[in-house]
Chains A and B, each alone.
Chain A
């Protein structure tokens, strides 16, 4: 992909397009995600976010250090979730987080499929050397998604996460180096 810092992002997988989230994507249906206790169970954001929040949030996106990328179902054009990626060029380190708001897409390997494309983009186009992410200790599906993609558990951030009921929980820190990703892909292709 011929991408330069600051340029629009558009990635394709079999079932999804990953491209910059825009204001036009913030439909009432998307805002409903943030009212759903199950969707928001492990999301460290306030419930009931509104268009004003997203208007401010989307202005932070510069496609150099901050990427906010919609996950769009190719068959329908529906936005089903989005990634937040923070990149620090000085350290070539990227941090990713994802929310899949459309429950109908849970259990379809959506994160594995779309994050694989995102990982390739970050390593090959953005020039990251390492990608990290953190997950709430109780979020078993998210732990699975990191492990199945070869992320290594690097540490436990003690009682740094908070459940909706106010309970403090550990955050598990996962990391993936470029060479680990490349080795994994090479093994799969054998």
Chain B
């Protein structure tokens, strides 16, 4: 079990590092998915199977899919990859790498100075988690649902793209509803310009 932990931890770090250095956005997203799956395996070896499954389903399965959708929708193409190559000069990495190395050294010293024994991984099953969620952490669940509602409304509102009304277009098209004018404008009402009579 320890070998699985170390191997998957190494895979997670390697995949994250590879993700940072990719020029193509889709390649980087795939490496990020690999990193998330490796972290899910780490969760499983730590005795948290519920969270491991949640990570795979929600993080790698929904959030990353959302990323992939948006990247595909933006349709960046080869020109964007070349632009990334121009932006990423090797000298850019020196500053943040030094600062991050200082941070890693700090964390390492703190960990070395503390408990030296390897903590035993107690298996905390889904039942204990759910009992705790419905008990003391109920307020957190309600707040999280409100946050998700706010995120949903915000994303819907930000995802709309309303074009400026063109007067000539409204005069030419007889009887056309303004909300059904252009498919490329409003992302939400994109498919609603098909009326029942024009099949």
**A and B pair up:** no
Residues of B in contact with A (beta carbons under 8 Å apart) = none
